[in-house]
Structure 1
Amino acid sequence: MRILLVGGEAELSAELLEYIGDLGDEWEVQSVPDGSAAIVAVASATIDAIIVAPLLPDLAPATLLGQIRTLRPETIRIALIDGNNPQRAPSARIIGVAHRFLPLPLSPEVLLEALTSLEELRELLDSPHLRQAIGRIEKLPSPPHLYLSLMHALEEDEESNAAEIAKLVAADPAIAAKVLQLSNSAFFNNGRAISDLRGAVTRLGLSTLRDLVLASEVFALPGVSGPERNALQTRALMASRLAARLLPASSAELGATAALLADIGLLLPGVRDERQPAAEDDPRPGHAEAGAYLLGLWGLPMPIIEAVAFQLQPGRSNVRSFWVAGAVHVATALAAGHAVDEQYLASVGMLPKLEQWREQAENLLEISVEA
């Protein structure tokens, strides 16, 4: 594997570089000082993974990674973040272009786990069997255009004001009505009615609004009956709210969106529900991997795709710490009344929190019933 480090070797310890060097001839690390040199390096040779420092002398990390995405979409894109400030969320721009965020100082084990899990996920999404199965579907759902427009607007200008965002939502009256309906539900409203989109943006915040827009678009897809779709949406919203509570502020938004989309594969025809028993010779793809594949086609952030793909087996993500995939596993299981993988929680040191999470899920369930 060829790894390109952007921002100088000071970001990686001598121990880490020595560790990678000892992995064998198949691993090669190249270092460049800035974004311009990185673009030249990626354009002139195949780079398997690029690791970008938090600050570069010429380009913003998100700008560089966006250009790498266009130039070499197959390259794994990793953004380094300040590990001393875990409560600071990655910017909307960097979330849209990075596959993974890793904290500084970076340990050899964390880097290796990240590269291994991303390679495994890339192999899953590139599976000929999965491509063939999804390819049989005559018409795949279109990407959630309004959600992606909101993400694009925030990538371009993180200071987009409430009026500008509300104008985007208002361009689709059906979704605007659904957003107002959902924002006044017990899930998102603390008692005072929201009567206009600008007020919804201001009071709910952009991350919640994006999830409401996403829910409105995704669960309007054809393929399931009205009552079934409503039940699926209610369960998804509950899982989304719960997942956000299981993670620190820096990851809560990713967890909420991933949990909201976890069961999107169930909206596809010819897909089996992996929570239900299936015959060994059942050729249908599972809803988790099918949903992840669809989100990959839509170009959603990799942490969300990974969490959807591994929601039933979070240990497959090869991330030792409890992160988005783990939170989505717990949230979707509790929202659906299914068993949680306690062995996994024990392995990441989170099993003692399970009872507290069950209580939170029960409280959210009561709210959904009242709503």
Structure 2
Amino acid sequence: MGNIISVLFVDDEPNVLTSIKRMLRFKRNEWDIEFAESGEEALDLFDKKIFDVVVSDIRMPGMDGAELLTRLKDEYPGVIRIALSGQVGLSEVVRSIRAVHQYISKPCDAETLVTKIESALKSREILTDPAMQRLVTEIDALPVIPSVFKSIEDELRKEEPSISKIANLISKDVGLVAKILKLINSPYFGLPSNIKSISQAISLLGLETIKTLILGTHLFSMYDEKALPKLSLSLLWEHSFRVSNIARLIAEKENLDKNTIIQVRMAGLLHDVGKLILAYSFPEKYSQVLDKIRETKDPINRCELSVFGTTHAQIGAYLMGLWGMSGEVVHGIGYHHSYDKCDLSIPMIVSVADMIDHQCVIINPDYGRIVIDESVLPPSSNAKLEEWISHISLHWQGITDFNVLDSDVIEHLRK
């Protein structure tokens, strides 16, 4: 395959395919592009070669896009699957959601189409192991905390469920948050791209849609803590929410623009989603990671690398890239343990926020404290750290004993 990316477009309307071919003429030296006018023709082409990306219409006669993409997910799980479709019904979204990585609305200009495809492919730069790429590409659902999911089910089944209560419950589980964010990209919903919160997303989606998606689609599986008792999903998500807020406060203190603050908050919230993927997919091997942490006191990403050949940061970034998260959020997730520049970028801020929280709250006494990388701090780093921690302490009291840990945090971060 080399550096040439193979992309297959599937649509029953020849005029649509002709338009795409014309739009993407400038990519002919970079992409190997083929076209199919039906699901059956697309499968025939796959018998001859495997494509990197498939972009399919949803509404087609005979084998529709939902069935085609589901077949491809089962038979060729490593393929990036994108739905390019106009207005479709909720039932069609429900049928396709487990097989689709991203949705793109029709009509679509060349820039949007290329950006979506290249953003999904760019995630491979973070996760380079082909076996792990195939694993992540197969993932269609994320495990959730059973108690949170049951509370949502109970609320949705009431005669007059509360949007704010459901939003608050969903916000307690990162797996639910990630999936709702993916759903926002569906052209069926037609929601704006600058959603600022889960509450806003749920309000715009509406309760009936939320009820159908959560209760009727089996998009979520229950996380069995007995399979890996050494890992508490609740504590992991509490850490993610704290990192999200710490990152937001640092960004606000540095007077970054509103969009960056939204992105940094989302990257902080999702920065550890890869731990869930590894722990759920490989509980026995992840138990080895936790044992290695206890024995060596090495950072978790180093122990994951020795066991899996990759880390939760890389795994999480790849999945979120496939699901259509912005490149800034994906890089914030993928490099939160390895960023080495002081540039107030999203990866840098998430890295610092993660380190600060690990100093303030001991999630697991077996974990060694993470030492900050001096390269992500400005020259007057002591003063800047004090400034950030003071601002966090004044504006958000969610971290245990933050006020009495200021000097201790800085001392440990710089050891």
Per the normalisation by structure 2, the TM-score is 0.44
- Which of the pair has more CA radius of gyration? 2
Per the normalisation by structure 1, the TM-score is 0.48
